[in-house]
Structure 1
């Protein structure tokens, strides 16, 4: 077997630092063979400046919206952003496919090896057939009117079936998931969570103050969204619990759940989670800070999430709400807003934590023998990345 050997100023395994006294050994195909002391590594070592790291995991993306880059102005606020995405996402098929291919190229160049991708359409199927990145396809469904639940679910299941054909074990790489608490009826939630094989789910959660106000009080700016969509929500009654307990109750004990955005998650929410009575097996908090800034939402209170030992992961959201699909750019924004955070913690969110969230940690996320996590070299300031393997 031919080997590749790498050393750098720092070696980050996915969870801890090793010094430049250690050498990472891979096969030419990128499988991790070992990490050994430099004295035992022999010849042919490539010495690099910076940090060796496993590849990045993008836990939340909308690849199918890549053609909308620059279409929606920044700082519109949540409601106007949602309305514009719904009303302006229609483009000619060739334009959509070209944008999807270019966006995937950019993720590869930015050191991303796996993606949790939101899919409302089968538009990304052809690109994913190429097998250049690992994907978990989250087939998103929405429908706030109880009577439309079966019709909405059937439409999403038809999309699911197109992605399922790409995989030997479809449930390992595909799920049907709810869009958000304000866009999914209780009947639709039941169909989603009881769909056979639906063990990994995600939901847009507490992305704005307006969302919480609507769920808990039935008031606020979200009424403009329903008016714009022509939906009569006079039936809606606010939840007697907080917004988080109100929808977590729909999920099942054998399911893992990724909560996305969390800009309005507060101490009461985290206290509820800390009590340990959650209906789900595993809970991850995905932060997408550049999308939050683009739309005009605040960043999540990351230090509060850390205080409650939340499992944090990183996403890019879409090019409709971001200037690039780069996990490293998200880490830069977090580091700028929370300079007290250590690089080790940031990198773990972007590698091993993300792999665990997408249930891919037996393959990627860390430098462990037998895995193929990708190998990156990142400069000390987290300002640029190069993919080596």
Structure 2
């Protein structure tokens, strides 16, 4: 049994506890949370400076891209980022073993940074062994990518084969993004998702060109399809942007995570409210800055009745896999968002989306959520000196 006392304990589901004490057993299960040290044996409490919170939930990562850290130029925009990434993959700059080793190192980095659960995107089986051996909980999202209607069935069946490779671990089939999934492929994924359990995680409105392409068939995505050698003559401009075009194609039987949302506006948020889709939002601010040099309009999403989560994206588009770093960026840019809100996004909300809130996301007796100590705060605000340390 171990007891930790800090300036504040943030249970997340309840108000912060000043001078709170968390007691856990040898397995990390929470036994009690109190502010009364007299209930514990003298000399058994480890006193710490900072705040204690649950382990972080990273709802969006690409572990298999870890090898590409520092290999893609910053600020070139999404289309150039995709081109550069595809060029690296095609060139075979790394063996599968090297990719797996980089993924294992990234997995350890997340553990060291207080992350306890991850929603991870894959296109290959490279990370399977890493996840089998990891201390972290993983839900793996197998991406289906295919913008040509005639390829929809083939792409869908290939993705399902990869899903089977990751079982019995938690795994589901998901569309990659509006600009890489044909309507026909969306329909196949929807039919697959309308029964059983199949969490969805889809990249959404990462740049203005995505909306421009859907509305007018203009912009950089035409260059991308030409680069890929794809004939998209079949695609006709829509009366709606990308998000408004795909929402009706998504299942209403699964939790759906919309990731990045860099160019999502209030009209889009209101549009979603007209549909009975189970939408969650994920923000990856460091990756947004790395790729597009801009952030989503986070304030628009607050108090809209949706679940907000945080992710790191990949090391190809980020210099670290650290949820505290993501919170730091958001607090600096949006100072009105307090640490209590940010911590909820980083813990409880992610656990609820991934379906693991019975064990993780909040500090409650009987749960095993992991314990993080955040130090170096200034009046409960995250600073450049703030750090996270795993207590369990």
Q: TM-score, normalised by structure 2?
A: 0.93
In the comparison of the two structures, how many residue pairs are matched?
378
**Which whole-Å CA distance do the structure 2 matches of 1:154 and 1:253 have between them?**
22
* Structure 1 residues 293 and 238: CA distance shift in structure 2, 3 A: same
**Could you tell me which residue of structure 1 aligns to residue 12 of structure 2?**
14
Provide the residue aligned with 1:306 in structure 2: 302
User: What is the CA–CA distance in structure 1 between the aligned matches of 2:74 and 2:226, rounded to whole Å?
Assistant: 22
For residues 186-265 of structure 1, what are the structure 2 equivalents within 5 Å?
A: 186-195=183-192, 197-265=196-264
Q: Does 1:126 align with 2:129?
A: yes
Alpha-carbon distance in 2 for matches of 1:177, 1:226:
21
Q: 2:60: which partner in 1?
A: 60
Does the 8 Å CA contact 2:139/2:354 hold for their aligned counterparts?
yes
1:388 deviates by 0.6
Secondary structure of 1:233's aligned partner = coil
Distance 1:21 1:227 in 2: 60
The answer for the alignment partner of 2:110 in structure 1 is 107
Structure 1 contact 208–297 (Cα < 8 Å) conserved: no
**Paired position in structure 2 for 1:49:** 49
Equivalent residue, structure 2, for 1:135 = 138
RMSD between aligned residues: 1.4
1:363 matches 2:359: yes
> Which segment is superposed worse, 236-245 or 341-350?
236-245
Structure-2 separation of matches of 1:232 and 1:287: 32
Gaps of 5+ in 1: 168-172
Cα drift, residue 197 of structure 1: 3.0
Residue 69 of structure 2 contacts residue 317 of structure 2 at CA under 8 Å; is this kept in 1? yes
Conservation of the 8 A alpha-carbon contact between 1:14 and 1:347: yes
1:285-341 deviations in Å (ceiling 9; x for gaps): 100010011112420101111153432110000011010111111111111111221
Deviation, 1:154, is 1.5
CA distance in 2, matches of 1:342, 1:202: 27
What secondary structure is seen at the aligned counterpart in 1 of 2:16?
Answer: strand
The whole-number CA distance in structure 1 between the counterparts of 2:58 and 2:365 is 23
How far apart, in 2, do the equivalents of 1:267 and 1:103 lie? Answer: 35
Give, in angstroms, the shift of residue 243 of structure 1.
2.6
SS in 2 for 1:306: coil
Q: Distance in 2 between matches of 1:266 and 1:20?
A: 38
Deviation (angstroms), 1:371: 1.3
Q: Is the 8 A contact 1:176 1:198 kept in 2?
A: no
Q: Deviations over 1:149-188 (max 9, x none)?
A: 1111111111111101x43xxxxx2110000011101111
Deviates more, 1:239-248 or 1:359-368: 239-248
Q: Distance in 2 between matches of 1:245 and 1:199?
A: 22
Q: Distance in 1 between matches of 2:220 and 2:146?
A: 19
- Distance (Å, rounded) in 1 between the aligned partners of 2:207 and 2:305: 22
- In the aligned structure 1, how far is the partner of 2:298 from the partner of 2:45? 39
d(CA) in 1 for partners of 2:80 and 2:186?
25
Q: Contact 1:22–1:37 (CA<8 Å) still a contact in 2?
A: yes
Question: Aligned-pair distance for 1:42?
Answer: 3.2
**1:177 to 2:163 alignment:** no
- The 5 A counterparts of 1:230-379 are 230-274=229-273, 277-280=274-277, 282-379=278-375
